[in-house]
Structure 1
Amino acid sequence: MEVTRKYIEFEGIKTPGGVHTPESLTWAWKEFEVRDDDVFNATYPKSGTTWLQEILSLIYSNGDPTPVKTKFSWDRVPWLEQHSGRGQVENRPSPRLITTHLPRFLFPQSFQKSKAKVIYTVRNPKDVCVSFYYFSLYAEFMERRENFQDYITHFLSKDVMFGLWFEHVKGWLTMKDNPNFLLLSYDNMTKDLRSNVVKICKFLGKDLDDAAIDSVVEHSSFKAMKENNMSNYSAVPNEIFSKGQGTFHRKGISGDHKNHFTPALEEEFDRIYKEAMKDVDLAFL
């Protein structure tokens, strides 16, 4: 893979170069044929994407941890829009578990005619911003900022990767009344993972017994994933992820923004949030 800090702009959204091409994005949007039993793990970046990859892998193995310990997460639940997506997804046997960061308006057009299911996980945007900042120091393909305050300005601009958090979330929330759409809260999951696993199983029609659910919870914990070389991105070369700058799994908590935002920054962020999300009810954040 070519490592570059250049972005590809596609329909007004910036995606990292190297892993995305205009062709791969066009294919995902206009040509990919969705199947009725596809399950999409959709997120804004740094909102629990890898966590859901692990949870879905374990649910579909009925709690057996073998797949998550023997196969990389990006192979188990691959990204649709990356240049490797077509080869990984197109001829995969059903049911296909697929990951995407695409905004709703760039989601596969064939989805509209299908019974496929989408799980969308949303996270407190202040925590997303903090996580994104540290990821930008670690990922060699991302733009960097000198300090966290500068990064907040970047995060609140249209230059941020995959577009503004507010627009991404609002776009996906247009589906909230669709029975094939499940909205999850990262913040609620950190408080009570088991009840959320049960909720996901019910949504997917997967009838797991208590022991299997316990196994899903155990093997998708932050500690288990951080120690699992199939899920912690330690296998990614240093020229892509600079290991000296941190680890992919940093804290896995809710509320870390309190350690980074000054009162003035928090007040300004809250003002922008209230204006951008004034017509949206996300009280559970």
Structure 2
Amino acid sequence: MARLDVTETFHHISFPGHIHTQDSLKCALHFQFQDSDTVIATYPKSGTTWMQEIVTLVKNRGDPQLSKTVPNWARAPWLEQHYSAKVLEATQGHRIITTHLPYNLLASALQGSKAKVIYVARNPKDVVVSYYHFHKMAKFLPEPNSFDEFLGSFLEGSVSYGSWFDHVKGWTSQTGVLANVLYISYEEMWLDLQGSMERISSFLQCPLVGEELTNSLRHCSFSSMRDNAMVNYTLIPKEIMDHSKGKFMRKGKIGDWRNTFTEEQIGLFDTVYSYQMQDCPLTFMWECPPESCGGGGGGQASGDQDRALSSNT
């Protein structure tokens, strides 16, 4: 199933036709979640692969066997992609399911389910830079022109998988409403991987101790994932993902957006961000000074926080 130049439009959102069909997207909306399922929900380029690796290691008590022998798309398949139905039907026991779908499309399927949901969000400035570079290598996504043009499409929400703002607001609005939902940011994971791992494993009721935690931390480090063919997408043919144009595991840093954005682009982004996120009930790590971050209302992305984050890279 090539369909590299096909785009599927579903509920006014664009999806790459290489891995999505109308049928697969419709099936996702009516999926029967099991109470033992773990669902990883993200907007693209927000730490999806990292969380797949973390959950795999947690579920296997730090044993890297599965993460080194089975591709991540097979052990944590994307719910809405065309191949997932067969994979999930063949999966025994606890299932790890990944999705890029917005909450409003999955709300009905999740209602009444005890499946555990982990939502990962990332500074959208880092997201858009990573997404831009991913478009350069992924043959199933439109070839981007300038970063300035891509940024405009991102802010409009006209890129594949839709608006980052709608996606994040939709899922995080369920914090404290839906049972069994854990929200975590890419930045939290980057700044304190051990604390994040302990939090995630506790949420999944698989608390790690001793060597279980040590092994998990080692095998989900950026360098370990970058060199793991089951994670870095080097198994994908060049015709679909051209690694000569960039690496899937590119940098993994936080605050790296400053190496791409111009001052004019920062101003535009902050204006749109402030408007779009004004009614968001959460404060994100990239919005506030390090000493005060931890709760309250939304707000404009803070340059001070980004500089603080960037200084740790």
TM range (shorter): over 0.9
- CA deviation vs aligned residue, 1:150-169 (integer Å, no higher than 9, x gap): 11011112321111000000
Q: Measure the CA separation in 2 of the matches of 1:63 and 1:242.
A: 32
Q: Structure 2 stretches of 5 or more lacking a match?
A: 287-313
Aligned residue number for residue 98 of structure 2 = 99
Contact 2:36–2:116, Cα closer than 8 Å, also in 1? yes
Q: How does 1:1-285 map to 2 (within 5 A)?
A: 1-30=1-30, 32-107=31-106, 109-177=108-176, 178-280=178-280, 281-285=282-286
CA–CA separation in structure 1 for the residues paired with 2:68 and 2:76: 14
**CA deviation string 1:94-133 (max 9, x = no partner):** 2110000000011163320111110000000000000000
| Cα deviation, residue 207, structure 1 | 2.3
Which aligned runs of 4 or more in structure 1 are off by greater than 3 angstroms? none
Q: Which has the higher contact order (CA 8 A, sep 6+)?
A: 1
Task: State the alpha-carbon separation in 1 of the partners of residues 235 and 104 from structure 2.
Answer: 33
Determine the structure 1 residue equivalent to 2:305.
none
Work out whether residues 198 and 207 of structure 2, in 8 Å CA contact, stay in contact via their aligned partners in 1.
Answer: no
Deviation per CA, 1:220-248, whole angstroms, max 9, x where unpaired? Answer: 01000000111110010001001210111
CA–CA distance in structure 1, aligned partners of residues 196 and 269 of structure 2: 29
Q: Which deviates further from its counterpart, 100-109 or 166-175? A: 100-109
Structure 1: distance between partners of 2:283 and 2:119: 13
TM-score by length of 1: 0.97
How many corresponding residue pairs?
Answer: 284
Deviation at 1:175, TM superposition (A): 1.2
- Deviation, 1:91, is 4.2
Q: Which amino acid aligns with 2:264?
A: A
Percent of aligned pairs with the same amino acid: 42
Decide whether the 8 Å contact of 1:3 with 1:140 is kept in 2: no
In the alignment, is the contact (CA less than 8 A) between 2:114 and 2:179 conserved in 1?
Answer: no
Contact 1:3–1:240 (8 Å) recurs in 2: no
Q: Is the 8 A contact 2:38 2:94 kept in 1?
A: yes
Once residues 87 and 222 of structure 1 are traced to their aligned partners in structure 2, the CA distance between those partners, rounded to angstroms, is 30
| Cα shift at 1:194 | 0.7
> 3-state SS of the aligned residue for 1:209?
coil
The 1-side partners of 2:201 and 2:207 are apart by 7
Give the Cα–Cα distance (whole angstroms) in 2 for the partners of residues 187 and 144 of structure 1.
28
2:107 & 2:87 partners in 1: Cα distance? Answer: 16
**Offset, 1:89:** 1.1
For residue 6 of structure 1, report the CA deviation from its aligned partner: 2.5
The Cα shift of 1:145 comes to 2.3
